[in-house]
Amino acid sequence: MPSASWPSQNLRNLERTGALKQEPTSASEIRRLIELARGSLASAGLKSNSLEVRYQVAYAAAHFLALAALRSNNYRTAAREGHRQLLFQLLPHTCGVDLSAALALDHAHRKRNELEYTGAVDVTEAETGSLIAATGGLQESFLDWIKRHRPELS
């Protein structure tokens, strides 16, 4: 079970507004999300992939980890607009990620949406490298958090 301080009051408040729903998770679900994140992050590092592909799979890895963090607190987002962005905004509350890291991933989410839905945005090597680094940091933070707060899921 989550420790006394988890889930945070913010998660409980969002449940009351209907933005989140309580739903039990399982170790197999969390392991699968971590596995998907690791594979995506590895693909993001392959220079043989285009910058756009590397950016998108780095984003996918961050999304899998943010989802795993929320699911580790036995919550799921409600199916409505902005649910992916909410995952990144909740990282300080779901796994204790630093606010600046959460904001960087939130920014990446907006850029990914522009890329995926309009195709009119360019990504740079620096932006892709920053996203890969931020996602690697999220992975490290989440894995540390889960060992301390939900070891039965790791």
- pLDDT tens, residue by residue, 4-45: 455 678 899 999 999 999 999 999 999 999 999 999 999 999
| pTM score | 0.89
- Taking the alpha carbons at both ends of the chain, their separation in whole angstroms is 13
The predicted pLDDT at position 4 comes to 47
Alpha-carbon span 76 to 61, nearest angstrom: 18
Please name which of 63, 42, 55 lies closest in space to residue 119, comparing C-alpha atoms: 55
Instruction: Please list the residues that pair with 20 across neighbouring strands.
Output: 77
Alpha-carbon span 53 to 119, nearest angstrom: 12
What are 84-97's pLDDT values in tens digits?
Answer: 889 989 999 999 99
Does residue 67 surpass a pLDDT of 80? yes
Task: Report in angstroms the alpha-carbon separations of 26 from 21, 41, 60.
Answer: 16, 23, 21
C-beta of residue 139 within 8 angstroms of C-beta of residue 41: yes
The predicted pLDDT at position 36 comes to 98
Number of Cβ within 10 Å of residue 78's Cβ equals: 15
What are 105-149's pLDDT values in tens digits?
Answer: 878 877 777 777 777 678 889 999 999 999 999 999 999 999 999
The predicted pLDDT at position 33 comes to 98
